[in-house]
Chain A
Amino acid sequence: MDDRELRWAQLMRSALAGDGAAYEHLLRELAPALRMVVQRRLVRLGAPTAETEDIVQETLLAVHLKRHTWRTEDPLGPWLWTIARNKMVDHLRRRGRRVEVPVEDFAEFLPAPEERPDTGAMEVEQHLALLPQKQQAVLRSVAVEGASVAETAERMRMTPGAVRVALHRAFASLSARLREE
């Protein structure tokens, strides 16, 4: 395993034990790696790269909701690229394209320039608007306004436990909506 794989696996093990900081660190490393691989793959398929960020976000959601399926003794890469490949195929299929994407294409990695795309991802936002009001408010508070769970709980007059439940449900229903679109 190379350094990156060792670091990712270590971070994911901490995340699975409940370490939010390690988890955030990991996701911030995964996002640019995913972005680059997805974009290159879209180019090769002749598909519009404008959808890159949507696929990255869908993949991150799936990583989050399925993180317990990673086998802690394995490197994280093969697991991650398999999920990314699946989410990309699903995404393109919904767009009416039938594609075969070999998973090997996701295993390659070249260091990507760090970039922070501020535009391009629309799907999550669209579906977010259709979520139950409480889930929406909690997710916006934590994601967009950067409030902690405790701050959100105080602001919305909820218990921190209820905020966590609403947040988790928001991710689950976002993912379900994206799938059934």
Chain B
Amino acid sequence: MKTDDLIRALAADARPVRSFRSTLALALVVGVVAAACVFALRLSPRPHLLTQLVEWRLAFKFAVTLTLAASAVVLALRLSQPGAPVGRAARALLVPALLLAAGVASELVTTPASQWRHELVGRYAIYCTTLIPMIAAPALGALLLALRRGAPTHPTLAGAAAGLAAGGIGAALYALHCVDDSPLFVLAWYSIAVAVVTAVGALVGSRLLRW
């Protein structure tokens, strides 16, 4: 086919299109709602959640997981827009990482070394590492479907960013229930759970997001 002819046909297919950014925003809303439904089906918020939010270690869990979700969503967006700058979005991932590091440091300073092991192991590590990926799954699905409309130059990376974002969402929701408040616990078990979701995102992304 001649290029001129192809162009004529492409132009005939012109119509108003929804921007990729708004598709991803919609997917984020759908994903969060679906993840919240999974949470509601299996778990309930811990007692006195709101009144305890003044406790820094509890607020800390939301700070880490929500900044992770937010920065990873923006990174996934940038990675799916050809030629868009990625650097700042990637550096924003340092915010949750530094928050986590600061929380862990503060915990190490304020608790006796004899307690570290106890805090690290926590009470419900196995629930944490299995429930977070379960809650995150619908969010990951929604984000990956939306990214299929994008044009990621590196499908694996874009899938991993979607996984990080979904992991952050799942972890933030799980934190509503979780009574293991030590930053040491978050460092050990939340990280594993988010890493699992990220790996799944990368794996699926490498297959699903080629264009």
Contacts and interface: CB of A to CB of B under 8 A. Distances in A.
Interface of A: 15-21, 23-24, 27-28, 31, 35, 53, 56-57, 60-62, 64-72, 74, 77-83, 86, 103, 116-118, 121, 124-125, 128, 139, 142-144, 146, 148-149, 164, 167-168, 171, 175, 179
Contacts of B153: 82, 86
Interface residues of B, number: 33
B12 interface: yes
B82 A57 contact: no
Q: Summarize A's interface: helix, strand, loop or mixed.
A: helix
B7 A24 contact: yes
A167 B12 contact: yes
Contacts of B17: 16, 67-68
15 contacts: A18-B16, A20-B11, A23-B11, A28-B7, A31-B3, A57-B1, A57-B3, A66-B151, A68-B18, A80-B83, A81-B83, A116-B3, A143-B6, A144-B1, A175-B211
A69 B20 contact: yes
A82 B14 contact: no
Contact of B12 (A20, A78, A79): A20
A139 B21 CA distance: 29
A167 B9 contact: yes
Contacts of A20: 11-12, 14
Nearest to B18: A68
B55 interface: no
Given A19-B14, A20-B14, A72-B19, A79 B210 contact: no
B1 A124 contact: yes
B81 interface: yes
